Structure 1
Amino acid sequence: MAVIPATWDMYDLIQGVLQAPWYHMVFEVALVLLIVKIYISQSFSPEKTVLTDKEKETLVEEWVPEPLAPDVPDDHPILKSMEKYCIEGQNGKYVTVNGKSCINLASFNFLSMVGKKEIEDEALKALKVYGVGSCGPRGFYGTMDVHLHLEDDLAKFMNCEEAILYSYGFATIASAIPAYSKRGDIIYADENVGFAVQKGLTASRSHIRWFRHNDMEHLESLLIEQEKLDKKNPKKAKVTRRFIVVEGLYLNSGDICPLPKLVELKWKYKVRIFLEEAMSFGVLGQTGRGVTEHFEISPDHIDLIAASLETAIASTGGFCCGKKFIIDHQRLSGLGYCFSASQPPMLASAALQALKMLESKPRILVDLRENCERFHQKLMNMPGVKVIGDPISPIKHLMLAEPAGDPGLDVRTLEMVVDNAMNDGVALTVSRYLEPEEHLPKDPSIRLSVNCELTHEEIDRSADIISQSFQAVLGKLTTRSLDVSSPLNSVQQDNRSLKASR
């Protein structure tokens, strides 16, 4: 074998260097110089400050630790309501408040599932078999056979391929949104969505584009605007996902979303739809399947449906349903699913029984719709009251037709109406919001919930009591406003002065 002289290797190296592009040589030299500079440079080490014992004692004396929890004002509405109202027993069609039996128009027991013997019996049977709780997330010995049965029944009921259970209704949509939408993606959200949806939007870190409540023209204008931007930067458009997030039945207004138009925009502008049905599941549609059934639209047109088991079904937790690959993704990415203890088996059994009752007794949905329409008609005739919500919606908001211009005053006025109505045997509640964290400030209102078991006499009596309570309170306020020395009038004068100074 011939031996190649070592000089040939050096010759080839020199030739390679000479033939290399000039910019390549510049880059190599700069890289070598940078490495040498980093190697010979000394790391920065700030001078250590040595304190004397006296200085240390002074710092310790001056240090004031922050409170473990922020101070809560004594007049906080939650604390006031806890002191004013004490509930005894179950929140059924009737509820006992401060020892007085009242017609319950405050809780979301739309189908009157609370207190049903069949549901309680199933829950007790499961309690004896499984105990109180699962004590673990679904992926860590928290999956019981009843969870799998409930997921299977919910998927079949909603005509979807698969369903996934969450142990907390609030966390369902709040976990589902960030499981799919990430930083850089775009979400078009109705500005009236509830707080759980808002938390999901925040957690996703996506770019949020708000459109006016149920205003499809405004939504389409935003989609057209984005379409123009995509044409300017097609490379970015390829990796940017787009979602529309709406509620089937809005908790904050009682309105139903225009789903047919949303589906039309979905296919026209290539976006995905996330539909939150916490209030519409078990309420809308001939069999309670929600807003998709209400508009006779196949669930296949919706990319993700999220719903709650804490309203019409009267259990705990929530679920998402859709295509198999959509649900499987949540089992690894839905934080509320992966890291929360699973739904207590006895409550999953209760939800299973409630779902069976809903399927076997569709008449309760007819009764609920008739009660909603009758109540709506009665409320529309009240003087001084503005009714917000769809006639067939079990959620209705009662607002002052002539607000004072100060939300604090309006809330106190509505609280007086609630107190008057409770004294006459009707339980109501003023809508509460986390004002600093809400996307938009909400107008003060009394939120009213309709039950399917209410009789016509109970509806008429409740409407009369609510009307009388409004008239009594507004009448007192009108009389007080004529008195310059009245506390209410002085508050109003202070507010006017403050606004004038601003």
Structure 2
Amino acid sequence: MTEQNELERELRVLNFCNFDFLGFQTSDALRQASTDALNKYGCGSCGPRGFYGTIDAHLQIEEEISKFCHTDQAILYSDGASTCSSTIAAFAKRGDVLVVDEGVYEPLSTGVYLSRANVHWFRHNDVDDLERVLKELQATDKKLGRKPGAQRRFIVVEGLYKNLGTIAPLREIIALKHKYHYRLILDESFSFGTLGKTGRGALEEHNKRPMYDAEITTIALENSLGSIGGVTVGNEEVVDHQRLSGAGYCYSASAPPFTASAAVASLRLLKSQPELVQRLQANIRYTYKCLDKHKNSITHKAKLVVTSDSRSPIVVLQLERDSAYESAIMSGIMRECLHRGVAIVASTGQDASKSSHLRTELAPCIRITVSALHTKNDTDKMVNTLIDSAILVTSRYSLNLE
């Protein structure tokens, strides 16, 4: 068989690489809801929401997700990335203040830069550094005789960080938010459906209240809900303001009705089957347990360490020590796992200097995503395959890792 034929042949692999945490993308209920919507409305939505683009399916998902999140209202965007970037830019303008975690992913950082606000960064998940920044801004206000209410001020964080698999320490962040009189913009795109007893996200995980502890919350529909699009939830003023100022809402074509209908079907499944969230969280615990059980092999033979939070369905592994060959090692592990029937993701790193929207350089890593559909046998196979592949690949670079 030629190399080209080898590349083209169909592979059946265990999927540990997408963000379909609850397995809704393959749900018969979503297929049926999407088919019914296509038959009723057709595919397109004709234009932006304010110009012949609003259909009852859009209003339905806005109403149902706002009720589920215990907020006054919700606003639907046609894709998850523009939800984050448009929401931030709608509220923060030139002269306002954004205090942003350095670990935020690109859609959030894009919104930060589009806002033209005064941006202050704090080290990832470092509450002490966050307070340092807030104190410095407070001292500047005092020096200039500026009242805190003279600017709109926001702290921007992710509930669950896509690139790092870490979870924001919301209790401490929210305490500082109230102490220094800031508003919180919280992205729940990856924590929604994965954290909290009923999957409501990081706020539920930390027993915090929407609209009070986090005034503005953005949620992508493309992960746990298995659809396309995104929503921002909050009080009436937060939502109404975006209907006039959210660029992705005002100028982009609205979401096709069938994607909104699919999101409604997913949300109803999530509400009626909370055991799906519990199953996902059980799978997450089992995955980390298996990795910890083989910790000696991973650390000493494969030279990998887990750097993500043990509650995160996004499992991140990095090299124990820096190496000039990190990117090659991660890519090699991914290819070897794929050859053995397991699909994972290798990030070869991203230099902040080469991107106008990322604050910090991302280290090369292996990323595994856990799903509610995985069985223990699936997880066992994945972990064993990962370890065997990592040992094989890193052995080629052993002299460079000592």
Shift of 1:264: 1.0
Provide the residue aligned with 2:219 in structure 1. Answer: 307
- Aligned partners of 2:117 and 2:6: how far apart in 1? 42
Shift of 1:239: 2.0
* Aligned 1:401-416 pairs, distance under 5 A: 401-404=320-323, 406=324, 409-416=325-332
Counterpart of 1:150 (choices 39, 58, 61) is: 61
Provide the residue aligned with 1:200 in structure 2. Answer: 111
Shift of 1:402: 2.3
1:464 aligns with 2:375: no
Q: Is the 8 A contact 2:222 2:230 kept in 1?
A: yes
1:327 aligns with 2:239: yes
Equivalent residue letter for 2:238: I
Shift of 1:397: 1.0
Greater Rg over alpha carbons, structure: 1
- Aligned partners of 2:24 and 2:160: how far apart in 1? 20
Counterpart of 2:344 (choices 412, 425, 428) is: 428
Shift of 1:398: 1.3
Counterpart of 1:366 (choices 251, 259, 278) is: 278
- Aligned partners of 1:187 and 1:272: how far apart in 2? 10
* Aligned 1:269-418 pairs, distance under 5 A: 269-299=180-210, 300-380=212-292, 381=295, 382-383=298-299, 384-404=303-323, 406=324, 409-418=325-334
- Aligned partners of 1:138 and 1:361: how far apart in 2? 32
Equivalent residue letter for 2:44: G
Equivalent residue letter for 1:192: G
1:133-156 CA-to-partner distances (Å, cap 9, x unmatched) read: 102000000000010011000100
1:172-211 CA-to-partner distances (Å, cap 9, x unmatched) read: 0100011111111111100101011110010011111111
3-state SS in 2 of match to 1:319:
strand
Q: Is the 8 A contact 2:350 2:362 kept in 1?
A: no
Equivalent residue letter for 1:413: I
Decide which moves more: 155-164 or 107-116.
Answer: 107-116
Provide the residue aligned with 1:117 in structure 2. Answer: 28
Equivalent residue letter for 1:252: N
1:434-462 CA-to-partner distances (Å, cap 9, x unmatched) read: 53112111110011100111111111111
Q: 1:153 to 1:371 in 2, by over 3 A?
A: same
* Aligned 1:23-172 pairs, distance under 5 A: 98-172=9-83
Shift of 1:128: 0.5
3-state SS in 2 of match to 1:110:
coil
- Aligned partners of 2:236 and 2:348: how far apart in 1? 37
Counterpart of 2:167 (choices 223, 236, 256) is: 256
- Aligned partners of 1:412 and 1:432: how far apart in 2? 8
**Residue identity (%):** 37
* Length-normalised TM-score, structure 1: 0.75
- Aligned partners of 2:6 and 2:153: how far apart in 1? 47
Task: Calculate the aligned-residue CA RMSD, in Å.
Answer: 1.7
Shift of 1:476: 2.5
Counterpart of 1:186 (choices 76, 82, 97) is: 97
1:212-267 CA-to-partner distances (Å, cap 9, x unmatched) read: 11111111111111111111222465422211000000111111111111111111
1:92-135 CA-to-partner distances (Å, cap 9, x unmatched) read: xxxxxx41111101110100011111110111000001101102
Equivalent residue letter for 2:346: V
Equivalent residue letter for 1:149: Q
- Aligned partners of 2:23 and 2:386: how far apart in 1? 22
Shift of 1:403: 2.6
Counterpart of 2:137 (choices 212, 226, 229) is: 226
Q: 1:137 to 1:237 in 2, by over 3 A?
A: same
Decide which moves more: 465-474 or 225-234.
Answer: 225-234
Q: Which ranges in structure 1 are unaligned for 5 or more consecutive residues?
A: 1-82, 87-97, 482-488, 493-502
Provide the residue aligned with 1:452 in structure 2. Answer: 372
* Length-normalised TM-score, structure 2: 0.93
Q: Which ranges in structure 2 are unaligned for 5 or more consecutive residues?
A: none
- Aligned partners of 2:112 and 2:95: how far apart in 1? 13
Shift of 1:394: 0.3
3-state SS in 1 of match to 2:94:
coil
Q: 1:360 to 1:207 in 2, by over 3 A?
A: same
3-state SS in 2 of match to 1:208:
strand
- Aligned partners of 1:314 and 1:167: how far apart in 2? 14
- Aligned partners of 1:365 and 1:295: how far apart in 2? 16
Q: 1:266 to 1:118 in 2, by over 3 A?
A: same
